[in-house]
Amino acid sequence: MEKYVPPYDITEKMLELASEIMEILGQLSNIREMEKLPRLRRVNRIRSVQSSLAIENNTLSLEQVTDVIDGKRVLGPQDDILAVKNAFAAYRLLPDLDPFSLRDLKKAHGILMNGLMEGAGELRTGAVGVIDGQGKVIHIAPPQELVAGLTEQLFDWLKTSKTQMLIRSSVFHYEFEFIHPFGDGNGRTGRLWQTALLASWKPIFEWIPIESIIKDNQKEYYRAIQLSTSEGKSNRFILFMLDIIKKAVFELAKDSRRHQSHINNQVRALLSVIESYPMTALELMEKLGLRSRASFLKNYLQPALQAGLIGMTAPEKPTSRNQRYFKL
């Protein structure tokens, strides 16, 4: 039996965009910025969660999403709050998910939609469609009796295809949305899974908030899905996603350079002596050979805390006499 191959054509424009993305990624890998910037990683993860859910009409702002993740009380629709908690849990699982496994996809969907729908993590048994941000139906998904076979065929192709991952993940994203294998939550699951595929290829993609750029171009996102469906192949969607990924990678490069500029020589010195276990300010000053507490606080400790490079044992009481510091 001949293997299923999703309909798409690799064009010169696709290869050009992929090449430009690779060039920017090369600059990022040289400075290994994401390993050194936990605060930037955290901010980007929260942006991914908030943006992907906002596309699905979640009403919580970036600040509210941050508060939910930090365990603070937030006034808002309970389903929106639960969706944030679920999405954050799913994104945290990215390193442990096998993006070539249908079983893991179902697991991720089960986490994303836990408590939000019946049958979370199970393929749909009814008819569904793709609805854009204005509530307009732009695509009627295949009948439910075809879903299992189509989804298995898509994963078989995904595992065996030799297509470059930037393009392959975009093809998968479109085909996943075309099949719409779940009763609800397909959009957020498809975006998560493209990130999972890209991160399996280049781990830095775990921290690139592609979803944020999609949200800023939401009309074009749905338009690309609609045009690809009407044309019978995913070319339009591939080009759209490659352009989105390029913008997201470029933004990360810009943000990382800005964060890196905040790491002065004094902070680097502090990072060379601080341990992963809690240490007092006095212990750190002794290791650095410093006598002035004011200088230590101003030039070493505060910049490191602001950059998210070190943590406090009692962050709710930053001036506590019992405060300890540790490397993140």
pLDDT of residue 29: 57
Measured distance CA(302)–CA(99) in Å, rounded: 40
pLDDT in tens, the chain (328 residues): 567 889 999 999 999 999 999 999 887 755 455 555 666 788 899 999 999 999 999 999 999 999 999 899 999 999 999 999 999 999 999 999 999 999 999 999 999 999 999 999 999 999 887 777 677 777 789 999 999 999 999 999 999 999 999 999 999 999 999 999 999 999 999 999 999 999 999 998 998 999 999 999 999 999 999 999 999 999 999 999 999 999 999 988 877 766 666 566 888 899 999 998 999 999 999 999 999 999 999 889 988 887 777 889 988 888 898 999 998 8
pLDDT of residue 36: 56
Structure tokens at 181: 């294998």
Instruction: Tell how far CA 85 is from the center of its chain.
Output: 14
Residues 6+ apart with CB under 8 A from 84: 49, 50, 53, 58, 60, 65, 68, 69
Domains of the chain: 12-260 (1.10.3290.10), 265-327 (1.10.10)
Q: pTM for the whole thing? A: 0.79
220-225-227-231 Cα dihedral, nearest 10 degrees: 160
- Tell me the CA distances in angstroms from 234 to 100, 111, 201, one per residue in order: 20, 28, 21
Q: Name residue, tokens 């392959």.
A: 168
**Is the Cβ–Cβ distance between 199 and 45 less than 8 Å?**
no
pLDDT of residue 261: 60
**DSSP class per residue in 190-251:** HHHHHHHHHHHHSGGGGG--HHHHHHHTHHHHHHHHHHHHHHTSSHHHHHHHHHHHHHHHHH
Cα-atom radius of gyration of the chain, to the nearest Å? 22
Structure tokens at 48: 């991914």
- Tell me the CA distances in angstroms from 142 to 138, 139, 147, 194, one per residue in order: 13, 9, 7, 21
Structure tokens at 207: 């921290």
Q: Name residue, tokens 């439910």.
A: 144
Longest dimension (CA), the chain: 77
Measured distance CA(283)–CA(285) in Å, rounded: 5
Residues 6+ apart with CB under 8 A from 90: 108, 111, 112, 192
pLDDT of residue 28: 72
> 327 pairs with which residues across the strands?
310
Measured distance CA(305)–CA(311) in Å, rounded: 7
Measured distance CA(224)–CA(241) in Å, rounded: 9
Residue 311: what are its φ and ψ, rounded to 5°? -120, 170
Measured distance CA(33)–CA(122) in Å, rounded: 38
3 state SS of 273? helix
**Is the Cβ–Cβ distance between 132 and 139 less than 8 Å?**
no
